[in-house]
Amino acid sequence: MSQTAITQQIHALEETIGAKLFDRNSRPVSLTPAGKVFLKEAREIMSKMDFALQRTREASTGLEG
């Protein structure tokens, strides 16, 4: 994925959320307070998603329960 595409995706996400996720005035670029919250919550969601996939695979092979 190109840098331009990543930048566009970040801007689209910020538009959807209604908050800036990165402080682009600092070097290196850093997360805003809203960005830190979003990152924490997104990591938790991804962890739960991994767990759900694992449990689903177990259920489909009869290992669950």
Band of the pLDDT at 23, cuts 50, 70, 90?
A: very high
Between CA 5 and CA 53 the distance in angstroms is 28
What is the CATH classification number for the domain harbouring 43?
A: 1.10.10.10
Note whether residue 41 is domain-resident. yes
Instruction: Indicate the number of domains in the chain.
Output: 1
- Residue-wise pLDDT tens digits, 26-61: 899 999 999 999 999 999 999 999 999 999 999 999
Note whether residue 19 is domain-resident. yes
Do residues 55 and 64 lie in contact, with contact meaning Cβ atoms separated by under 8 Å?
A: yes
Report the 10 Å Cβ neighbour count for 21.
19
What was the pLDDT predicted at 65? Answer: 59
What are the structure tokens assigned to 2, written together? 């190109």
Closest CA to 38 of 52, 23, 17: 17
Beta-bridge partner residues of 23: 30
Note whether residue 27 is domain-resident. yes
